[in-house]
Amino acid sequence: MKLNLSVQIFASLVLSVVVGLVLGDGAIGPVKTWVAPVGTMFINLIKMMIVPVVLCSLVVGMTSMGDLKKLGRIGMKTVGFYMVTTAIAIVIGFAVASVVQPGIGMALPGEAAPKVKEAPTIMQVFVNMIPTNPIASMAKADILPVIIFSLFLGAGIISVGGSRSKLLINLFDAGAEVCYKIIAMIMRLAPIGVFCLLLPVVVQNGPKVLLPLLSVIIAMAIGCTIHAVCVYSSVAAVVGHMSPVRFFRGMTEAMVIAFTTCSSAGTLPVNMKNTEEKLGVKRDIVSFVLPLGATINMDGTALYMGVCSLFIANVFGIHLTMDQMMMIVLTGTLASIGTAGVPGAGLIMLAMVLQSVGLPLEGLALVAGIDRVLDMFRTTLNITGDAAVAVAIDATEKSVPTQLEITE
């Protein structure tokens, strides 16, 4: 029986720990010479796909909305809700990680902490977001300028319309599908990449690598619970005028499926059925808000980025400044639009965030082995957030006739 990829990655994590503990620090020379470079190649494969997948996915996401008028009232409110809750999720991730402090005590001895370039100020970030040369930004993998350029490119294609825009839409849609296939190929190598990245760390540091990984899982579980109970309950109760008890009771089935499958797309039909039948949201709202949420709403992954970025900073002995944390919030919020639905989206987004503030991408290996466990929490949070926003949008639209009702 063929093992699930996530099971393979977790098995690779366990194997790297066992082999590393057996070999001990006496094998660090050969391991660094022959094993570590393979891990570096895996990291390079992930970095290779960051810019293409952001560009193609964002353009496709924009153009799939049809024309600019369709972004209208419901579209803007929906996107606004998703962006705000995503930013809040990253902040909660930072807050929980600041208390739990995952990675403390796992600092790698014998190696100087990598030097991190000084983070720009917030105003410099806003200035640098607008690329003077999009191609140069892509070549340097400057993620924020690529995101902004992609959004403008998508809006421009929608504005042109007609057969000319259809040509470009098909081109970027095909490009996005190719990117997804390549990422799927890369993720099949993840068990080998994780083993080759973690083995040198375990060989050099011994059992000290184990406890901090458990602290990451605990921080993730606490953060997701806080976000669901506080943020989503508030959205459902204050904006949606729905009891949190009724909301979570109606979401139970979809949440269980999301937790076990780790697939937002796979949970979408059940989530739509529950939101319409058990939460009473109108079908036209459900059919617009939930699929859009499956594309751009990644609160769970955003919270994961907050926890994991602080974890990786702690491991490498790097102190994150407030400007760097704000950069992570901004990059993570915008990047969530471009990578939802991509296989391995959590690691891809985390790679973008780490790169945006100069944190070592080698830290990806430290969380890749437990990514399946973390994915259970973040997927559940993602689909719950989709439904909460649908409830809120439905309540705000009940006071006036919607454009969908008028056209019908």
Q: What is the pLDDT along the chain (408 residues), one digit of tens a residue?
A: 455 666 777 788 788 878 888 888 778 888 888 888 998 888 788 778 878 877 887 787 677 656 566 556 677 787 788 888 888 888 898 889 888 887 776 655 444 444 434 444 556 667 877 889 999 988 887 777 887 888 788 888 888 878 888 889 899 989 888 887 887 788 788 788 878 877 887 787 666 656 667 888 888 999 999 999 999 999 999 988 899 999 998 888 788 777 766 767 667 777 888 888 889 888 777 777 787 777 677 788 888 888 888 888 888 888 888 888 888 887 777 766 555 555 456 777 787 788 778 888 777 777 776 776 787 788 889 889 999 999 998 888 765 554 444 444
Q: Is the pTM of this model over 0.85?
A: no
Provide the residue ranges of all domains of the chain, joining segments of one domain with +.
5-398
Q: Which residues does 139 contact at the CB level (< 8 Å), separation at least 6?
A: none
**What is the helix (H) or strand (E) element at residue 307, kind and residue range?**
helix 299-315
Query: Of 36, 364, 11, whose CA–CA distance to 199 is shortest?
Result: 36
End-to-end CA distance of the chain: 50
Cβ neighbours of 51 (radius 10 Å): 20
How much is the pLDDT for 116?
39
Which 3 state secondary structure label does DSSP give 342?
coil
CATH architecture type of domain 5-398: Orthogonal Bundle (1.10)
Question: Does residue 272 contact residue 302 with C-beta atoms inside 8 Å?
Answer: no
Q: Which residues does 406 contact at the CB level (< 8 Å), separation at least 6?
A: none
How much is the pLDDT for 123?
67
Alpha helices, H only, 64-161 = 73-100, 122-129, 134-139, 143-160
